[in-house]
Chains A and B, each alone.
Chain A
Amino acid sequence: MEAVTLARWQFAITTVYHFFFVPLTLGLSVLVALMETIYVRSGNELYKQMAKFWGKLFLINFVMGVVTGIVQEFQFGMNWSEYSRFVGDIFGVPLAIEALLAFFLESTFLGIWTFGWDRLSKGLHALTIWLVALGSNLSALWILIANSFMQQPVGFIIRDGRAEMTDFSAVVLNPNIWVQFPHTVLAGFTTAAFFVLGISAYHLLRERHVDFFRRSFQMASIFGAFSIVMLIFNGHSQAQHIVKIQPMKMAAAEALWESEDPASFSILTIGDLAQRRDVFAIRIPRLLSLLAYNQLSGEVKGIYDLQAEYEQLYGPGDYIPPVAITYWSFRLMVGAGFAMLALALYALFLTMGEAINSQNRLLRAFLWAIPLPYIANTFGWLMTEIGRAPWVVYGVMRIEDAVSPTVSTGMVLASLILFTLIYGLLMFADIYLLVRFAKAGPEGETAETGPLVAKPARV
């Protein structure tokens, strides 16, 4: 196998893994901050317990995000040195700003928050977790500004064989940011909401710490319903944006081989990858045009036409991304999204109707729904990044030109194996701890029914 293939695998594995932890950090920091704020304003100790309990789970998750994030920053130099040379002038800037503005903020104040319960006034202590939440979300903003340059390069010229920034405000205000940043943050909020809903449902079904988990469930249902509704509206705008800037990605996500006007939406397509055509397809007429342009007609370009167009533009080559991966990633993301919409609205209905009780066996669904946001997040990124192939910077630099020329296949293979191994082991340790602390519930005094749990019970 070639070094570039292995480097792509390594990037995919480390990025997807990193993004198991980031969304929960984005959302749970905000939820914990809200809990602590309610505690400070109302003086109700229950909310302090909530902030501490969910905060502990937050910390276990957060540290995994941190350590896997360091790898992300250095990986560009390690495996993608030609990419780094070519775009460092632009791409390095948001990364540096992210570290300076966001990482310092979240790491420093999380240290204070964790160890500072007895050292700071209540209000100041609550402020530190808000700064952590701000830092996390700012970090997402800057990393997505960097990623948006790869999706929709703006504000630069090519000089002496590399991209040079000419307009920082264009890079920061990249149109792609306005759809991608809300999408990522709302996905993070949704992830946190389903995490809290699932664990709360688990305890409610067992009638443990009922008041504690009912309130957690209520907060998460409001937070989650708001987030997922906004997320789906935003996802629609993002799809329309993609039709404009990366029509090939949308054509691949829809397995739309020929241009259509009006365009039909695929319910199910089974294709022949070698032949690059459909074997079997169920499509709804006009729906894709409707999604793309908010009207019943309008041409959506197909893969073959785009391929011909790109050959005119960029010279001979294969400009078709892996269609099956893009197609199924899109479906899994959207499918998980709509399942979450239904569940979040149901959670909201339970909350509004005061109907959350242990007799409700349907609560079990929330426990099983915890993986849903993870599926949506993962496949969302796979579609975004794989659908961009063969480009690393859309229309500007191809993936095979971005790789490090001096790093041998053996070295990439070694690092790929080591990362996979260590990441795999850490995943076990992380899930073990999360499950153990989630099952144990809040410590001590808030238990209304069931035994007091002084320290985490054995799993």
Chain B
Amino acid sequence: MSQALEAKVEPEVVLEWIKKIGSDSSSTVPLLQAVQSQYGYLPRAAMDLIVQNTDITGRQVYGVATFYSQFRLKPVGRHIIKICHGTACHVSGADRLNTSLRHMLNIADEEQDTAENGSYTIEQVACIGCCSQAPVMVISDEVSGNLTGAAAQRALKKHAKKSEEIVANL
């Protein structure tokens, strides 16, 4: 599965970002953010291009990429589901959203976070600042709140229909 999701990196795209964002060391985070917004994760080839074409060292690129929780080193599904695990969401049942959506997407292995067909990736995130609507999740860029496990499933079902994705346990 992950093989199929591996992104093809075009050097000219990365070089264009370097030109736009900068090649000094303070550009490390914004450059990686640009790469991730394009590919959904940080492909090794893109990180190598940054090291080769800027003043940023490999130590710095990899150090930063592994330090911040936003950066992913593995390919992701076509859509990302972020389940908020802030305090309010935790005490209001964020765990149940996680259980119910993993069940629906048939992601049984705890080490896995992407559905077998590459449709959705489930991610746990720290507070997204919507605490009074807890528990909250974000599918693609759509925020929804006051969820139960069942309501989260309905939201996923709706999203899957709209984006023509197949969900295992619908």
Whether both chains belong to one complex is answered with no
Instruction: List B residues at the A interface (Cβ < 8 Å).
Output: none
* Residues of A that sit less than 8 Å from B by CB: none
